[in-house]
Every structure is written in structure tokens, then in C-alpha cells.
Structure 1
């Protein structure tokens, strides 16, 4: 691993990780490959002569990820993407809420797309399978997250976040956002930006958990609106609800 920058060697060579890692569609055992993630390498200055580490080759790899995603999901039908924390444990009430939300959405006529990992992503896939709809997981290459969960009908692994995000949006009629961390917030604010700028139309964005989301909504209203960074009407781009039934109602209203 000596050809990679020293900080990457330290970060990825010494960190505690899972026995296996996904690299796009390929699963690697960590004792056989300690290579940094492709997203990381993409943003570094070139340091190697091997063509498979050059930008032209990466363009073809990126194209392949889009082709694989489009091909796998082209006939999926109406779907909702569900986001939430990978750290939620199956014994926690929030995990059961994730199952119930996904099941209610599925029973209203939608397939379910998640990030394919553990926690609330897994709960979403469990709810989809219990409801008998197509359960989709879109995984990502990370040094600290397990492989795709077992509750999937279709599972796709991605190297690049932007290719994965496109699939979340392209094949979904709306987003349901359960409590989560940076990754969940990333998807939330990307969706808000696309709705605000008219890049996606008639796209409901539903946040689940009033207590969890209240401080964020307060900050949006009391800071961003007050400072003129967003319009007061931008607060209407999303709904905050509490129950699976309210999620379904918000999606129905937004999908009109």
C-alpha cells in the first residue's frame, strides 16, 4: 500500500473495519486488499502510472455504474426511497418504526429503496419484504459499513456516491427520512435543493419524528429564514410527521 499517500495509509490501514468490503459490485476481503475507496482516489492528484488508476479509466468505471443501476431498476415501478441511521439496533423502538413506515408505504402501492445497509435501512427493507413489494438496496463502498443486508430482492453496490444518489432520485416518487446522521442529512438537503430549484417536480419529502427534527426545523426558520438565506415558503418543501399513517397521507398529497 506504499504508493498511496501516508495519511490514507494511516486512516484506512489501521482503522477497525469489517472482514469484507464492497468495491462496487465486487466484494473484497480486507486481508487481501487495503486499497483506499474509489471516491477518495477520484479526488486525489494522480500518483500512479497504471491506466486503471487514471481519470479516463474512472470515467468508464463511472459509466458502468450508471449502466448497471439503470439496467437493474428500469422496470422497478413506483418506489419511495427511505433513509435513516445505519446505527439503529433491531431491539430499539426506532427500528420497529422503520419497519412499520416501510410496510405502510409499500401497502399503499410503492416499492421500497434504501441504502441497503444495517439499521434503519435494513428496517425499511424488512418492511418491504413483509408487505410483499420489491425491496431494493443501493450500497456504497465504505471502510466501516457491512455488506448489503439480507432483506433485498435487488441489491446494487456502488463505488461513487453521486451514481448511487442518482438511483435514489431517478426511481423514486418521493423520500421518507427517518432520524439519522450525516449521510441521512446529506440526502435530505440534496433533495431539498433539487425541489427548491425545480430539478425535481411533485416530489414529496417526509421527515419522520417530530421531536428529532424539531431543532433542525427551528434553525431553518429562526436562522436561515430570518437571515434571508431561504424564503419562508421553502419550509413548505417538506412535511414533518409522527406515524406511518401520516407518512402515507403526506406522500399521497405530495405525489399529486
Structure 2
């Protein structure tokens, strides 16, 4: 199926001949060419700052939120999409806002479940050459130019990640969260993998290769939990919140 050629550049939608040949991130990271970057990069800092301000201003009052990740290529009738939609609804009923990347597939399913349950359904989009903008079930959306700004928003405004089957982008978000947990940059941050048959081989590799070679510790493997049950997934998120609140109360005393 050919997608409609919409191109999101921050808050701007471009179509047809107006679609650029490269993304903002590509131009930022491209070190080739003339020395014009000496004059343009300081202005990019202002644009980056503006994205941070927009993100902070929009998301700061969401309340308790959980990010849901998964493939943009998952068909709507796939079992993983059904799981994502159920999880989106269960999270809302547990008192959470649902945050996704705002795209199609798993993300759209989670947003759909959250919106159908009457909750806040957030999409944090990104400028890509092959995406079509935020899905129709997002009721609070931001389109970012820069990946690193978007990544910060996911971690800062979520108190846990739910990760369904996905590709490179999903793995990126997963392992970034695990790195932040392993290094103590974030604490009390549950990461739940949904889909034991999908994630099982990866966990086996972590155990049989990385752990066996001494590259991770047994405690690192405890940073994630795996389930096929949407209700159990949300229950783990809620339990982690209660444990964190209890520790905070003890510290206050």
C-alpha cells in the first residue's frame, strides 16, 4: 500500500515537491561540505532550545504517564496490535496517560486503546523521510525535529516503559532505558517486555552470551520483566509506583 506523502518537520506538514531531500538531524550531523556550519550551528541551538521548551511546556502537566513502544509496521489485525490496544486502555483505567511515538502500528493501537478508554493519548512524533505524521488517536501531539530531544521527553515524562515487538527503533528505546537503569541515571523505572515468544530469544542471548562472557551481571537481567498478559503488565507498573511511593514516604520520615 502506498502511503500518502506527508512529511512532518516539527509542527509543519510538507507535501509533494516541498518535501526536503534530507532531515534536520541529517543536516545537523553531516560534517561534510563547507565551513558554513560555523555560522549556522549557533542558530540551530536556538531551534533545539525551542524544542525543549515546547516539550517541557506541553508535557509537564500530564501526570503519571507510561510510554508504550513497538513496531510502526505491525498491521492493525496483528495479535500484537490487539495487545497494545488493550494495554493502552488498561493503563488509562489504572490512572495513567499513555505516551507513544505517535506513528502507526503498535503505537497507533496503544493510542487507540487509551483514547477509547477516555484517557490522554500522547504522540511524540519525529521528522523522518518515510513517516506520515501523528496517528488519528493522538489527542496531545508534538512533532520533534531532533531525536535526542524526543528521547529525553520519553524518559522524563514516563515512569515506566512497556515494550512490544518491534524493530531497530524499539530496540533503541529498550536498550537506552536499560542503560539508564544500569548506570543509575534513572531509578524505580519498570521496563516490561510484552510477548514472551518474541523477546525470549533476545533474553536467552543476553543470558547465554553477555552474562556468560561477564559483560553484564545477573542483576542486569532483572531490569526487565516479561509477560503475555496485559493486566499483569499494568499491575507490575502500578506495583512499581507503590513501591517507589513507599520508599519516598520512608525517606521523608
| TM-score, length-scaled by structure 1 | 0.90
Aligned length: 241
The 3-state SS of whatever aligns with 1:109 is: coil
Shift of 1:234: 0.6
| Aligned mates of 2:80, 2:193 — CA distance in 1 | 14
Cα pair distance change 1:50/1:125, threshold 3 Å: same
Shift of 1:34: 2.3
1:227-242 equivalence runs, <5 A: 227-242=213-228
Shift of 1:30: 3.5
- Of 74, 82, 87 in structure 1, the residue corresponding to residue 68 of structure 2 is 82
Match of 1:245 in 2: 231
- Of 185, 188, 212 in structure 2, the residue corresponding to residue 199 of structure 1 is 185
Q: Contact conserved, 2:7 with 2:19, CA < 8 A, in 1?
A: no
Establish whether residue 188 from structure 1 lines up as the match of residue 174 from structure 2.
yes
| Aligned mates of 1:103, 1:241 — CA distance in 2 | 17
Shift of 1:252: 2.1
| TM-score, length-scaled by structure 2 | 0.91
Unaligned segments of structure 1, at least 5 residues: 1-15
- Of 78, 81, 101 in structure 2, the residue corresponding to residue 95 of structure 1 is 81
| Aligned mates of 1:151, 1:209 — CA distance in 2 | 24
| Aligned mates of 1:26, 1:62 — CA distance in 2 | 16
Unaligned segments of structure 2, at least 5 residues: 244-253
CA offset digits 1:20-60 (Å, max 9, x no partner): 10111111114123231011111112636778982111111
Match of 2:22 in 1: 36
The 3-state SS of whatever aligns with 2:222 is: helix
Moved over 6 A (4+): 49-53
